[in-house]
Amino acid sequence: MKRSDIWREIKAERERQSQQWGAEHAWGAGDCSSALVEPIVKAAVLNEECGEVARAVLDRDEDALVNELIQVAAVAVAWLESL
């Protein structure tokens, strides 16, 4: 993948996360960019995504691996946005 394509995919995933988690929910309000979501929740979300990366590697599923790595990157970017 070209770097420009990777960044485009991460940005699209950030938008998707923002839409999916934009409202109030059991763990706060908003996605991992929100100050209303506790750092422990953000760590759990990032860890869950990393677990899905490991699963894709174990399954030798390159398409899933790409998707999960993009999700990991997007969650990390969201958390950085909250700092």
So what's the pLDDT on residue 26?
A: 75
Q: What average pLDDT does range 7-31 have in this prediction? A: 88
Q: What average pLDDT does range 59-76 have in this prediction? A: 98
Angle between helices 39-58 and 62-82 (to 10 degrees): 170
When the pLDDT of each residue in the chain is averaged and rounded to a whole number, the result is: 94
Token pair belonging to 69? 């790595």
pLDDT tens-digit profile of 34-53? 999 999 999 999 999 999 99
Give residue for tokens 């899905």.
52
Helix ranges (DSSP H) in the chain: 3-20, 39-58, 62-82
Does residue 32 carry a pLDDT above 80? yes
